[in-house]
Amino acid sequence: MKRHHIAAMLMLQSIGVGAYAQSSVTIYGSVDNGISYINNVGGHSVVKMQDGINKANALGFTGTEDLGGGWRSVFKLENGFSLNTGAMSQGLIFGKQAYVGLGKSSVGDVLLGRQYDYTLQLERYMAPFLNTGIMLFQNADLDRTSGERLNNAVQFNSASFGGLTFGTMYSFGQNAGTSSTNIGRAYSGNVQYSYGPFSGAIVLTDINKAPVYAGLTGAPDLLGQRLTPATVLVVDNQRILGAAGMYAFGNWRASAIYTNTQLKLNGHSATDQVVHVGGDYRPIPDVALSAKVSYDKLEDSHWYSLNLAADHLLSKRTDVYLELAGQKAGGATGTVASIATMGPSSTDKQFVTRVGLRHYF
C-alpha cells in the first residue's frame, strides 16, 4: 500500500511540473558558399572559393523555459565553421556565442557567458545593404560592427518600453588568449528607439588590451608601428562610439551609420571614422537590389568604397546572389586598398565580384 502511495505521489508531481514549466529548444543555422574574384591581392589577381562571406556559417541551439509569473530561463550555444574545410571558425566548440540567462517579460534578460558586444547592434541598421556581405565592413573591422565577442560577459537587455530599449554589459578580463577579443576588462552599452518606419541607435564599447588586425587596414603605419598585412596589435584601449538610423517606405529602405573608433598604444593614439550610407529596393517580392557607399578615415589615410548586390530568393530559406565591391585608397603615402576579408591590394585600388548560394535552417 505504501509503495502504491509513493508511486501515485511521484506521478502527480511529474504531471504538475509538466503543466507548470513549458520549454522549447530550437536548432538553427546558416550556410553560405560562393566563388570570388579579386583583381589584386598583394599584386596578383585571385579566383577562389570562399564560404561565410555573405552570411557567416553557423550551427546553433537556443532554448527557453517558462518559469511562471512572466519569468523565463534562456540559453544559446552557437558554433561557427568553414563550409569548405569543416574547421571551426573561432577555434572553439561554441565560438560565436555561448550563454545562459534569466529574464522577465516586463523587464528584460540577464545573460552570462561569451556574447557579442553592443556594437553588433549597428548591423541591424545595415539591413538595407547587408546583402552586400562582409565586404561592406571597415577594412580591418576596427569598429567591430561585423560582430565581435567578449568573454566572461554579464549582459542585461531591457524589454521594450514604448519602442525604447537599452542594454548594458561588462566583461571580466580573464582567460586571456587567442579566442578572446578582450584580454582586459570591457564594457558596452546601447540605446535604441523605434517608431513606425523609423528606428535609431547609439552604442558605446570600451575594451582594454584588445587585439586589432591593423595590417588589414591598408594603412602604411599605425600607433607608431610600421604595418605588414599580417600585423596584429594588442592595443592598450579600444573605444568605439556609433550611431545609426534607418527608415522604411514602401519597397524601399535607407540607412546611415557612423562610427568613431579610438585606439591607444604605448602613448600613441589614433582615430578611425567611418560613414556608411545605403539602401535597398524590392522590385518584386523575391528580388532585392542593394547599394552602399562608405568613407573611412584613419589618421592620414582614407578609403572610398562602393558595394552593390542583387539577391534572388529561390524559397523562404534559400537564395542566390551577386556581389560587387570596389575601393579607392588615398592620403598618406603607401596607403593601399584593402576590402574587408579580401587582403590588401598592392595599389590604391581593389575590385571584388562574387556569386554565391545561401541557405538558412
Phi and psi at residue 61, in whole multiples of 5°?
-130, 125
Q: Which residue has the cell 566583461?
A: 171
pLDDT tens, position by position, 108-159: 999 999 999 999 999 999 999 999 999 999 999 999 999 999 999 999 999 9
CB atoms under 10 Å from CB of 187, counted, come to 18
pLDDT for the residue numbered 5 = 41
Write the DSSP string, 282-318: EEETTEEEEEEEEEEEETTEEEEEEEEEEEEESSSSE
pLDDT tens, position by position, 150-195: 999 999 999 999 999 999 999 998 765 556 788 899 999 999 999 9
Q: Which residues contact 319 (CB under 8 A, 6 or more apart)?
A: 311, 312, 313, 357, 358
Region of residue 93 (phi > 0: left; psi between -120 and 50: alpha; otherwise: beta): alpha
Instruction: Say what the pTM is.
Output: 0.90
* Three cell numbers, residue 177: 588568449
Of the candidates 140, 132, 236, 119, the one whose C-alpha atom is nearest the C-alpha of residue 187 is 119
pLDDT for the residue numbered 182 = 85
Of the candidates 289, 320, 282, 319, the one whose C-alpha atom is nearest the C-alpha of residue 307 is 289
Of the candidates 138, 325, 318, 310, the one whose C-alpha atom is nearest the C-alpha of residue 240 is 138
Phi and psi at residue 42, in whole multiples of 5°?
65, 25
CB 278 within 8 A of CB 290: yes
Gap between the Cα atoms of 177 and 179, Å rounded: 5
pLDDT for the residue numbered 217 = 98
Residue ranges and CATH numbers for the domains of the chain are 22-360 (2.40.160.10)
pLDDT for the residue numbered 175 = 62
CB 208 within 8 A of CB 182: yes
- Those residues of the chain that have pLDDT short of 70 are 1-21, 175-179
β-pair partners for 304: 295, 328
Distances 277 to 240, 296, 304 between C-alpha atoms, Å = 19, 12, 12
pLDDT for the residue numbered 176 = 56
* Three cell numbers, residue 7: 508511486
Gap between the Cα atoms of 201 and 84, Å rounded: 36
pLDDT for the residue numbered 173 = 80
Residue 10, CA atoms < 13 Å, CB-side half-sphere: 6
Please count the residues of the chain: 361
